[in-house]
């Protein structure tokens, strides 16, 4: 099992009440950055993701593929927050925590007796982060939401696909992932701010708002210029040629977004005449004549394989790469070189090897790796007393009065 190195968030303790994806994805990033993450799970159930995934046997064991993907390196403790003894232990953990992360519907924590005021009383330095579909306030705040709901409401599905196929769901839970990343960023910033003020913070993360923010130009072009974005399939609305093209053996993405890249592309494809063609000579002209330009390029691109074009164009400074399947992508030598994946044992003791992802960040040249496999449900229940004692043993700093 990999040794746990010093990381930017080493020493930070995260009490994680989340389940499924957005919240666990947040705490997974915090774990990779060095935090100690303790999952608080419901008796007999645990994280819903424990029963989700394509392998029914893993689901039955409570270690479904969806759970395994986002929970390496964490601890699991079962607590019933309606039981007086468990509530007392939970409150001791809150007192020793740096971060409390939850993704219940708005109002649930308040009904459990752990609203923001109560948590602040227990621990004024606590960073209290809630990740929900719509945020803690507003007319939709109590509505249920999963990733697909947010994809539809955000307008994301309306611009995914082509004019004939849209609206389409993006092929992975992008809104959940964005919500988790947004929460991890906010938590990290709040921890830094706490060092300056001595006070924790209440963070209210809306997946809908984070997703709209991440849609970038699709939203801002409408807000600024009144341009209603349309589904364009594999084409890029901001430039041409920029999209997917067929080669002798498969798809190739090309993004010749700059004038010099377009000139180089035409030269390497043996089509120098396109550079002076008034339909394609300038950026806006190319966008207005996209279909004609793509037709010209496609004839030439079918003369070589995607790999041949990728190497030739990339060396010459034209962004180009094959369109891969997921099994092909995870075997890229680039990922192996960067140490993106880590092999861990399955938590069930079967001896099988589990491949866990990193987060694409190197710290001082080293990849951020999970240090332990995902936990079984209540795997650390026997250590409850020691966990509570250790978390509470840390000296508490004096907290200045609010506004001081």
pLDDT of residue 177: 97
pLDDT of residue 392: 87
- At 398, is the pLDDT very low, low, confident or very high (cuts 50, 70, 90)? low
pLDDT at residue 324 greater than cutoff 80 = yes
CB 161 within 8 A of CB 168: yes
Domain regions of the chain by residue span: 13-215+340-393, 242-323
Q: Which of 176, 234, 249, 383 is catalytic?
A: 176
Q: pLDDT tens-digit profile of 108-121?
A: 999 999 999 999 99
b/e map 132-158, b = 16+ CB within 10 Å: bbbbbeeeebeeebebebbbebbbbbb
Say if domain 242-323 classifies as CATH 3.30.1540.10: yes
CA distance 260 to 334: 27
pLDDT of residue 394: 72
> Would strands 75-78 and 36-41 be described as parallel, antiparallel, or unpaired?
parallel
Q: Which residue has the higher pLDDT, 393 or 47?
A: 47
Dihedral of CA 271/273/275/280: which sign? negative
Mean pLDDT of 57-61: 93
Q: Which of 150, 126, 104 is nearest to 391 (CA)?
A: 126
Dihedral of CA 271/273/276/279: which sign? negative
pLDDT of residue 6: 85
pLDDT of residue 285: 97
Mean pLDDT of 90-103: 97
Mean pLDDT of 382-386: 94
CA distance 160 to 171: 10
Mean pLDDT of 353-374: 95
Told to judge if 348 belongs to the known catalytic residues of this protein, a careful annotator would answer no
Degrees (nearest 5) of the Cα angle 335, 340, 342? 125
Say if domain 13-215+340-393 classifies as CATH 3.40.50.10540: yes
Give SS3 for 115: coil
Q: pLDDT tens-digit profile of 167-193?
A: 999 999 999 999 999 999 999 999 999
Q: pLDDT tens-digit profile of 119-178?
A: 999 999 999 999 999 999 999 999 999 999 999 999 999 999 999 999 999 999 999 999
Six-digit token pair at 393? Answer: 């043993």
Six-digit token pair at 233? Answer: 């399939």
Q: pLDDT tens-digit profile of 267-292?
A: 999 999 999 999 999 999 999 999 99
């Amino acid at each position: 099992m990999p040794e746990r190195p010093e990381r930017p968030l080493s020493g930070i303790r995260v009490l994680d009440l989340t389940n499924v994806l957005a919240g666990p994805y947040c705490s997974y990033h915090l774990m990779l950055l060095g935090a100690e993450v303790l999952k608080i799970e419901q008796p007999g159930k645990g994280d819903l993701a424990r029963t989700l995934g394509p392998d029914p046997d893993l689901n039955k064991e409570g270690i479904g593929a969806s759970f395994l993907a986002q929970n390496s390196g964490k601890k699991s403790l079962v607590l019933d927050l309606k039981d007086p003894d468990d509530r007392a232990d939970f409150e001791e953990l809150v007192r020793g925590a740096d971060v409390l992360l939850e993704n219940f519907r708005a109002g649930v924590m308040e009904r459990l007796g752990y609203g923001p005021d109560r948590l602040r009383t227990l621990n004024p330095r606590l960073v209290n982060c809630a990740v929900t579909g719509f945020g803690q306030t507003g007319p939709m705040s109590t509505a249920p939401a999963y990733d697909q709901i947010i994809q539809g409401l955000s307008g994301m599905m309306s611009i995914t696909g082509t004019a004939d196929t849209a609206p389409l769901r993006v092929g992975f839970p992008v809104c959940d992932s964005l919500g988790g990343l947004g929460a991890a960023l906010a938590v990290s910033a709040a921890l830094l701010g706490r060092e300056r003020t001595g006070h924790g913070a209440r963070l209210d993360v809306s997946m809908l708002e984070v997703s709209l923010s991440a849609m970038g130009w699709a939203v801002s072009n409408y807000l600024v210029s009144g341009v209603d974005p349309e589904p364009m399939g594999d084409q890029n609305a901001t430039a041409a040629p920029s999209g997917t093209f067929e080669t002798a053996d498969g798809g190739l993405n090309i993004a010749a977004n700059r004038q010099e890249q377009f000139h180089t592309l035409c030269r390497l494809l043996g089509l120098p005449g396109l550079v002076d063609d008034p339909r394609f000579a300038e950026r806006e002209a190319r966008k207005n004549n996209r279909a004609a330009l793509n037709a010209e390029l496609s004839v030439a691109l079918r003369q070589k394989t995607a790999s041949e074009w990728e190497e030739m164009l990339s060396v010459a400074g034209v962004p180009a790469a094959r369109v891969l399947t997921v099994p092909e992508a995870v075997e890229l030598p680039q990922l192996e070189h960067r140490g993106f994946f880590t092999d861990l044992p399955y938590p069930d003791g079967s001896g099988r090897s589990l491949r866990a992802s990193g987060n694409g960040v190197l710290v001082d040249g080293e990849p951020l790796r999970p240090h332990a496999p995902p936990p079984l449900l209540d795997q650390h229940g026997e250590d409850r007393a020691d966990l509570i004692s250790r978390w509470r043993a840390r000296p508490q700093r004096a907290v200045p009065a609010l506004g001081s």
